[in-house]
Amino acid sequence: MSDEEQHEAGRASETGLRPSTEGPPVVEATGIVKRFGSTVALNGARITVRPGETHALVGRNGAGKSTLVSVLTGLQTPDEGTVTFGGAPAPRPADRDAWRQRVACVYQKSTVIPTLTVAENLLLNRYGRQRGALISWADVRRRAQETLTAWSVDVDPLTPAGDLDVERRQFVEIARALSFGARFVILDEPTAQLDGAAISRLFDRIRELQRQGVTFLFISHHLEEVYEICDMVTVFRDARHVLTAPVSRLSRGELVAAMTGEAAGGPSRARARAVDADAPAALAVRGLTGPACQDVTFRIGAGEIVGLAGAAGSGRTEVAETVVGLLTADGGEVEIAGRRPRPGSVPSALAAGAGFVPRDRHHQGFVPGMSIADNATLSVPERLGRHGFLSHGRRDRLARSMIEELAVKTPGPGLPVAALSGGNQQKVVMARALADDPRLLVLINPTAGVDVRSKEFLLGKVEEIADAGTGVLVASDELDDLRVCDRILVMFQGRVTTEINRGWHDHDLVAAMEGVSLDA
């Protein structure tokens, strides 16, 4: 037994956890390796979930949580390692019915079909037949009601699923999962779209189902929820298993340290920057309110880099997208370099002086079949000609200067963007954001899916741009993206809860993003 395993066994004995003689684990994964090309998503990972537990799985983005869930639900086959349910080997990948009888996952993004009724969703592909090929809808409704009653879900089976709120939709999905016979349910970020009262009701339901013999694997970015509802916690970091321990014996600081790999922590390694406190505002946000945020107010000075940090569902992305006009707020004001763009209008935000790198370059950042030159100059047609006529010569000269400025590796501006690597594609997206010399640069997850060298180059370019007087807003939950920031505004459940200046420690920032107090 390794030192780590002895440590875990000692913790378990101290807390009086169920002994192994109560039966085999509900699920046990050992030595799991999963590769996607050159990327190692899981590297010898493991987890053991015992009957009746609510077991948390936590870790930063990229830690391997989602890949492990896909392995535990049979959607991915591990390259190495084993998975057992109740001591028996996992079913064959193609035997979906056998998987449904062992494990179910309720995802953050609902899988119910909104145009079907609750009953139709519950029994989809299991309607049964009467009198040849005809379906007895009365029987479907009766069976659906029996399922809802058995699991205490107070929903009319005839209700269109699209009319359900998020909370009741989750309860229906849990009931559907249990109706296949599974007594092990994975809850993937179940509280991300719920308010406080709904979260409390969900936790009451989890405890009730635990008493009925259901075991849960609970995945959440909100660590306070782990302490409220979970018995055990497993931490993944960098595709590996780091720690499994009883929640009651693990302090908030220890848990955050396990997630970040930083115990007492060294300060952020960003270089010092001189910021003019009297510089005019590149961005002023006042009282921004909408479905994902409440009364958000902040200012970014010219030449200042400000991070907007937060876990999934915190509202950071929505605030950034509202600033550039992708979303429309219910209330509040956005002012870019002294001008108020029309709410919900990207062209108006760009005209006011904004440049924008969206969160998903593949769907929002570029047109893959178009050339580098066309993609890089999409936002500045007025610089390429007059009266609607574009000069290919002007376009290519501008594109070449941008290619050189951002070190895009390409034989020329005519190459389709789809032929570039991920890092070079992101450089093209950045080039377009900078094409009109913006007064404000808004970046959402600016280094997602790029190699290390491209990441370093892009973040160095952000500092250069700020040094030249452009204000920068970086909305991200990646610590490396945030290290370039002069200060960071942390959002939690739609509100700015903390402001952290340069020189922060990883564990302090992560704790604020996850909504935990290290003093608890």
Q: Which amino acid is at 371?
A: S
pLDDT of residue 326: 93
Asked if residue 172 and residue 157 are part of one domain, the reply reads no
pLDDT of residue 352: 95
- What's the CA dihedral at 483, 361, 426, 490 to 10 degrees? -10
The label of the residue with tokens 């452009």 reads 470
Strands 80-85 and 184-188: unpaired
Return the higher-pLDDT residue of 491 and 277: 491
Asked if residue 497 and residue 385 are part of one domain, the reply reads yes
Statement: residue 40 has pLDDT above 80: yes
Could you tell me if residue 310 is inside a domain? yes
Asked if residue 328 and residue 401 are part of one domain, the reply reads yes
Q: How confident is the model at residue 334 (pLDDT cuts 50, 70, 90)?
A: very high
Could you tell me if residue 268 is inside a domain? no
For a pLDDT cut of 70, what percent of the chain falls above it?
A: 90
Asked if residue 373 and residue 303 are part of one domain, the reply reads yes
What is the Cα 181 distance to its own chain's centre?
A: 30
Could you tell me if residue 257 is inside a domain? no
Give per-residue pLDDT as tens, 226-269: 999 999 999 999 899 999 999 999 988 888 888 888 653 445 55
Asked if residue 173 and residue 132 are part of one domain, the reply reads no
Statement: residue 10 has pLDDT above 50: no
Residue 449 belongs to domain spanning:
281-514
CA distance linking residue 498 with residue 92, whole number of Å = 48
332, 296 contact by CB (below 8 A): yes
pLDDT of residue 132: 60
pLDDT of residue 516: 79
Could you tell me if residue 59 is inside a domain? yes
Q: Which structure tokens are listed for 29?
A: 């994964």
Return the higher-pLDDT residue of 82 and 378: 82
The label of the residue with tokens 């998987």 reads 99
Could you tell me if residue 258 is inside a domain? no
Q: Nearest to residue 143, comparing CAs of 112, 114, 120, 168?
A: 120
Could you tell me if residue 259 is inside a domain? no
pLDDT of residue 359: 85
Q: Nearest to residue 413, comparing CAs of 403, 423, 421, 425?
A: 403
**Overall number of domains in the chain:** 3
pTM for this structure?
Answer: 0.66
Asked if residue 148 and residue 185 are part of one domain, the reply reads no
Asked if residue 308 and residue 180 are part of one domain, the reply reads no
Asked if residue 144 and residue 46 are part of one domain, the reply reads no
Asked if residue 31 and residue 156 are part of one domain, the reply reads no
- Residue 194 CB coordination number (10 Å): 18
φ, ψ (nearest 5 deg) of residue 247: -60, -40
User: What is the domain-level CATH number for residue 305?
Assistant: 3.40.50.300
* Length in residues, the chain: 520
Could you tell me if residue 363 is inside a domain? yes
Asked if residue 466 and residue 364 are part of one domain, the reply reads yes
Could you tell me if residue 300 is inside a domain? yes
CA distance linking residue 124 with residue 122, whole number of Å = 6
Q: Indicate the residue among 231, 250, 269 that finishes a domain.
A: 250
Asked if residue 215 and residue 327 are part of one domain, the reply reads no
pLDDT of residue 14: 35
Asked if residue 197 and residue 75 are part of one domain, the reply reads yes
The DSSP code sequence of 43-66 is EEEEEEE-TT-EEEEE--TTSSHH
